[in-house]
Amino acid sequence: MNDLKFTLPFTTKKAPKGLSIFLVKEKDYKGWLSKQAADVKALANSQGFKPGGKLALITRNAKGQPSKVFALVQDSIGIYDMPAALDQIKAQLSQDFIDKTVFELSTAKLKEEEITQALTGWALGGYQFNRYKAKKTKAAIMRWPEKANKKRVTAYARSIYMLRELINTPANDLGPAQLEDAARFVAKEFKAKISVTADKKLLEKNFPVIYTVGEAAADDRRPRLIDLSWGKKTDPKLTLVGKGVSFDTGGLNLKPGQYMKLMKKDMGGAAHALALGWLVMALNLPVNLRVLVPAVENSISGPAFRPSDIIKSRKGLFIENTNTDAEGRLILADSLTYACEAKPDLVIDFATLTGSARAALGEDIPAFFATDSKTAATLQNLSVDIDDPVWRMPLWQDYKRHVQNSNGDLVNSAGLPGDLIYSAIFLQQFMDGKTEWLHFDTFAWETSGRPGRAKGGKDTGLRSAFALLESRYGKKKK
């Protein structure tokens, strides 16, 4: 992946003259309207610019050219307020005008946090997956305000752009090797260390389950474990793990076509882990960071693993494979065992793991599991505050019996309703019982497309996880 250094929709250039955007909070709407000239009042009334109505109002000068833009936002500005207004602004202007215009955000009455939210939202509204389009549409450009926290806005925008780009890229252009390229790009950006254990070396280094899942892939798509590290050894150890199945056919338990069409996104966990790692490094959290990505393609060929095969894991537990389409938890098993060997303070894993998580919570809300209730409560409360909701599910230990009924120690698929819980219980067996652990079962996809959330790859739980890390580890001491 050589094209992850995105150009964000911002400029520092002074020319040309900009078109100013003034944000109007819903609670201030009546006061704002009362102070406007009669023509603006009439325009707002005729166009339905009011809370619950249109979000963008464009006034024009005597020549009919746009002179000001007013945008309605929530009282507490949300990250998707600006994209929603931007969509309505663009609907009222020609693409040619947008291409020649620089927008300017009026920040006079805004706090730094509100400016950051607005600018980050603007960036998310400007993301386009256009790599495979001959004709590319330009994003609307905004001039950086003087009060902008450029570092924070840029960190969020670039991490989310990367996450979306990785998930959106089809598997013919993104296999395990290209996931490795993406991780190397991230490592180079922050001068992090990276090592990769690939193909037969996985067996030599005792990652047998990762190798088994990826063994059937073609020569240019061999399985590997990507290991990135950054930070001071004296800081708390944080390990992120991301499921990196670049494409999931289901293996010999072949998926029907309607369930296979989105399986390029089955590396969405890896994309989340890399994006969260990006945020940690870009905003310099005081942690000793490690990112582990087991990267495989679940293919079908002569060496493909079979239902009823029994595999010895890195931890020594024998896993009876009851479903080759439950491969994500298999590659995570070796990775979580490996993560715990370094005795980290916290392990967080992300995986596009189960359909039952979607059945329980829908597409937008990732299920998460936690071994510490205080951490879980903090995470869930933060997630609501920042409009990136996650929901805790139970690590119900009595259900362990459903993954222990086996010719080996465990089965990878219980074959019963409630798979999101059984898969989490399965993964917990590969933790060391001491290390604090968070497991995210995320969909990582926007089905319909909404302002700031273009159809395709989507961050779900990323910003909440980072908010938790910031609250837990604080900022780097100078």
Q: DSSP per residue over 290-312, as a string?
A: EEEEEEEEE--STT---TT-EEE
Measured distance CA(308)–CA(267) in Å, rounded: 25
The answer to whether 255 is a known catalytic residue is yes
Query: For the chain, first and last CA: distance in Å?
Result: 34
Q: What token pair was written down for 44?
A: 């707002």
Nearest to 279 by CA among 409, 434, 134, 158: 158
Nearest to 469 by CA among 373, 382, 362: 382
Measured distance CA(289)–CA(237) in Å, rounded: 6
Q: DSSP per residue over 6-56, as a string?
A: PPPSEE----S--EEEEEEEGGGHHHHHHTS-HHHHHHHHHHTBSTTSBSE
Element (H, E) at 245: strand 244-248
Q: Specify burial of residue 203 (Cβ count, 10 A radius: 0-12, 13-18, 19+).
A: middle
- Name the active-site residue from 329, 358, 453, 463: 329
CB distance 128 to 168 below 8 Å: no
- Bridge-based pairing of strands 391-392 and 318-320 is unpaired
- Name the active-site residue from 150, 184, 255, 472: 255
Sign of CA dihedral 375, 380, 386, 387: positive
**Could you list the active site residues?**
255, 329
